[in-house]
């Protein structure tokens, strides 16, 4: 059987203080350390699978702060994009969601009946008060 090749894309959220990143040598930056950790973990886990070859191809960083139609879920605080108001500048490789009553909700925390509810299930639990 012929070998097949797939591109597996994984996204990670990396929160770091930009003031502390400035002046840090590249090899000590969190994104480079994460790249090395992912490669080391993949190599360790696949060490018993000589038929599988994994090679790093690329990585990119997309700042989320200040992007249009992006915010944090009012319930679980995960990053979410408003699928109903996406623009060309909206990063869409994060959780899908929408804005309800002026606040972001991820698809698992949209209320019953919302068309973007995850698997058609709605969330009717508590929503923490907004920070003022
Ligand atoms: Zn949520």
Block mean pLDDT (10 aa), the chain, length 132? 83 81 74 89 92 88 92 96 97 95 96 92 91 66
Do 86 and 46 fall within a single domain?
no
Do 1 and 56 fall within a single domain?
yes
pTM of the model: 0.77
Query: Which H or E run contains 44?
Result: helix 30-45
Separation CA 4–CA 51 (nearest Å): 11
Domain count, the chain: 2
Q: What is the pLDDT of residue 27?
A: 67
Separation CA 110–CA 117 (nearest Å): 6
Separation of 103 CA from ligand 1 center, angstroms?
11
Q: What is the pLDDT of residue 81?
A: 97
Separation of 54 CA from ligand 1 center, angstroms?
33
Do 19 and 49 fall within a single domain?
yes
Q: Which residue segment(s) compose the domain that 43 sits in? A: 1-61
Q: What is the pLDDT of residue 4?
A: 86
Do 5 and 50 fall within a single domain?
yes
By CB atoms closer than 10 A (0-12, 13-18, 19+), residue 115 is exposed
Separation of 122 CA from ligand 1 center, angstroms?
11
Do 78 and 55 fall within a single domain?
no
For strands 95-100 and 79-82, give the pairing.
parallel
Separation of 93 CA from ligand 1 center, angstroms?
15
Q: What is the pLDDT of residue 130?
A: 82
Separation CA 25–CA 131 (nearest Å): 36
């Amino acid at each position: 059987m012929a070998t097949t090749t797939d591109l597996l894309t994984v996204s990670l959220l990396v929160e770091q203080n930009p003031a502390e990143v400035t002046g840090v040598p590249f090899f000590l930056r969190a994104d480079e350390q994460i790249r090395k950790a992912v490669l080391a973990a993949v190599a360790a886990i696949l060490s018993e699978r000589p038929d599988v070859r994994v090679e790093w191809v690329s990585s990119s960083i997309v700042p989320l702060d200040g992007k249009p139609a992006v915010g944090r879920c009012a319930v679980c605080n995960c990053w979410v994009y408003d699928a109903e108001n996406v623009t060309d500048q909206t990063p869409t490789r994060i959780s899908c969601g929408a804005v309800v009553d002026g606040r972001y909700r991820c698809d698992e925390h949209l209320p019953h009946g919302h068309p973007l509810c995850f698997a058609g299930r709605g969330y009717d639990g508590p929503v923490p008060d907004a920070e003022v």
